[in-house]
Amino acid sequence: MLRGELVALRARQDSDIPVLEADLHSDVVTWSRSDGRPWRPLPAGSDDSPYKIRNSRDDPAVFSVVELASDELAGDASLWKVDPHNRSAHLGLSLRPSFRGRGLGTDVVRALCRYGFEIRGLNRLQVETLADNQAMLRSATQAGFTREGVLRQAGWVNGEFVDEVILGQLASEWFG
């Protein structure tokens, strides 16, 4: 388990899956804004659940986010598209609606950086987010990421093309 100041990142438990499906996947608008895959309905307990761990040795490294103050499941976080040759990866997170706006996002990003830089020995971490996702832009920036550019109309979200912002951080910039 990785501990931050406000959150812990731990292995996904089977009991987490229905909660994440109900609070994150069932919200079509939020899912469409936070995941590059198109939303599709899934029955509860489906083997196709995006929250099920397929193979714990494969990319991505998936975590459940637990708020330390309440010891409650707060969301989902991952290091994905891990490239061991170039020592780089992407990171992402999604918090349950009742846990948003509490400053947990920045702590999750910092914990993912610690995992990527200190434990996995990566050199570069990257965040891609929608240009209007102020919460993720703020969390990444507060965790030391630098805005590197904009991919114009790179995402198809809820019937329109939207810009994506790329942020990056190098191991030499990590202040963990």
Distance CA 168, CA 166 (A): 7
Q: Which of 114, 2, 11, 8 is nearest to 66 (CA)?
A: 8
Q: Which of 130, 69, 75 is nearest to 98 (CA)?
A: 75
Residue by residue, pLDDT tens for the chain (176 residues) are 999 999 999 999 999 999 999 998 888 888 888 888 888 888 877 888 888 887 766 668 999 999 999 999 999 999 999 999 999 999 999 999 999 999 999 999 999 999 999 999 999 999 999 999 999 999 999 999 999 999 999 999 989 999 999 999 999 999 87
Query: What SS3 string covers 113-129?
Result: HHHHHHHCCCCEEEEEE
How confident is the model at residue 56, as a pLDDT?
A: 63
Q: Which amino acid is at 20?
A: L
How confident is the model at residue 49, as a pLDDT?
A: 84
Q: Which of 111, 148, 107 is nearest to 127 (CA)?
A: 148
Q: Give the domain 2-173 fold.
A: Aminopeptidase (3.40.630)
Residues 6+ apart with CB under 8 A from 60: 78, 79, 80, 81, 82
Q: Which amino acid is at 145?
A: F
> CA-CA distances (angstroms) from residue 97 to 30, 76, 86, 87, 149?
10, 12, 35, 33, 28
Domain ranges of the chain: 2-173
How confident is the model at residue 52, as a pLDDT?
A: 86
